[in-house]
Structure 1
């Protein structure tokens, strides 16, 4: 059996075009990249997941942009696979949001929560969001936030800033939270937030196609002394574990050659080996 390349991949997606992924996001993908990338064959996901010791699989309740990868589908996908960990997603604006999350935890055995305010059309300070986070806090569910920009005009950009999570972290200091994609393009802002809160992290997913932004994100984490709070994530199917590793090494090389941060291959190896499950309370 091939040894995994990384210990934990904290950011992978499933969902099929026409079933879980619809317009406007699907057509916006075509406009941005020439094809619908969010169309995942489960066998391909399972094969990709062998590159990591464990992979987190994310539901996504983002009906305002045409995406609903439902909690039941994720629960069915991860069932019987010790290397897969399912995260629920519930839009806090739903009237039955609390009941949906409780059901996802108690009945579907999902172990975390995925939120994306820019896609789900809520502000992180919204009373409905804070009420849902109370439930997450009761169950100690780690949260992965898409708190950053996105390509689709159907998203609401003013809900995307990483700084919005500072209040949330102060309200729920014991709740592990991850800012996905280093909060791109606001990596410095995201780094400044996570350094203030012991249980906040960033993942490095889906930045390998932007070498300069990736290098800047790594340099920001180094300068803010939170490099040890970077978690590995691939954002499959938009990238793979190997592509992300290659992007990390290239970003570190750029940092060294430009003299902006002395990030070594050993630092990248440590990031890839990081035991994110323990950090997020999932062991």
Structure 2
């Protein structure tokens, strides 16, 4: 269990990847290599969960970690939620378990979500509408959302443009339209008791994301996927004012390291008294680690 009094920050957005070669049969390694080039990441293959834990432990930062299940749309075999949960349990001093279930799996996915929350204490689920090929307000996904809400779980959604498939022919089939954060407004209305996180500065829909997060009490924004030095002015203004309790530090590891993100965050115009909330306390409250 993470000791919230000991860590200096909580990274709400990190990715779990399998050891090198596990996806060689379906093109996933090629996708990862292209993404690494896009983000200028300093590795030839993503770090394993154990390597991730070691890095975050060295940095004294806790991390929410998850795989991404997009089997139907992409054909990429997923990293088993159970396997991820077992490795995370071995590193529970720094890692916090989220999971991912392709919403197209229907009732099978609902059963899995309930089991993961009850058996492993999974706190939330990552959705990537562009990779999974669905609009977040599609009623097809609502039984899965209901299962998450019933267990008090958190739903974290990719929003905005993505580095996934960027520069590949046809964007590797990724359709950006699915990740407009305005679709999350319906989800927030229909599941008012479920905590929802809109991941990333939502380019080119930043103002839509800010609007939904301001209007709906159950909606938060994580700041992952971009170096803070590239944040639009309006995002910084909202971080300093009406969304100061609803914005969360996230790196998007392994594409961006948490230490790089935090170093760049020090250089932007955030009020000093708000920095502890943004880098740790807001996430701690959302995750139920502090009041």
User: Scaled by the length of structure 1, what TM-score is found?
Assistant: 0.84
User: CA 1:116 to 1:37, structure 2 compared with 1: closer, same or farther past 3 Å?
Assistant: farther
Output the CA distance in 1 between the equivalents of 2:66 and 2:265.
23
Tell me if 1:178 matches 2:184: no
Tell me if 1:243 matches 2:260: yes
Contact 1:148/1:162 (<8 A) preserved: yes
Task: Write the deviation string for residues 135-184 of structure 1: whole angstroms up to 9, x where unpaired.
Answer: 11111111111122113113221101011100100011111111111323
Give 1:136's match in structure 2, choosing from 132, 148, 166: 148
User: CA 1:46 to 1:121, structure 2 compared with 1: closer, same or farther past 3 Å?
Assistant: same
My pick for the range that moved more, 229-238 or 57-66, is: 57-66
Give 2:32's match in structure 1, choosing from 26, 41, 50: 26
Match of 1:213 in 2: 231
Task: Write the deviation string for residues 56-86 of structure 1: whole angstroms up to 9, x where unpaired.
Answer: 1112102234362320122012113233211
Alpha-carbon shift at residue 217 of structure 1 (Å): 2.6
> Partner of 1:98: helix, strand, or coil?
helix
Output the CA distance in 2 between the equivalents of 1:180 and 1:139.
21
Structure 1 stretches lacking a partner, 5+ long: 253-262
> Partner of 2:28: helix, strand, or coil?
coil
Contact 2:50/2:87 (<8 A) preserved: no
Tell me if 1:76 matches 2:86: yes
Tell me if 1:41 matches 2:48: yes
My pick for the range that moved more, 32-41 or 53-62, is: 32-41
> Partner of 1:25: helix, strand, or coil?
helix
Tell me if 1:104 matches 2:116: yes
Give 1:273's match in structure 2, choosing from 270, 280, 287: 280
> Partner of 1:228: helix, strand, or coil?
coil
User: Scaled by the length of structure 2, what TM-score is found?
Assistant: 0.82
Output the CA distance in 2 between the equivalents of 1:33 and 1:84.
23
Number of residue pairs the alignment of both structures matches? 269
Match of 1:258 in 2: none
User: CA 1:98 to 1:88, structure 2 compared with 1: closer, same or farther past 3 Å?
Assistant: same
Task: Write the deviation string for residues 210-241 of structure 1: whole angstroms up to 9, x where unpaired.
Answer: 62335553234446x21221111122111222
Output the CA distance in 2 between the equivalents of 1:215 and 1:85.
31
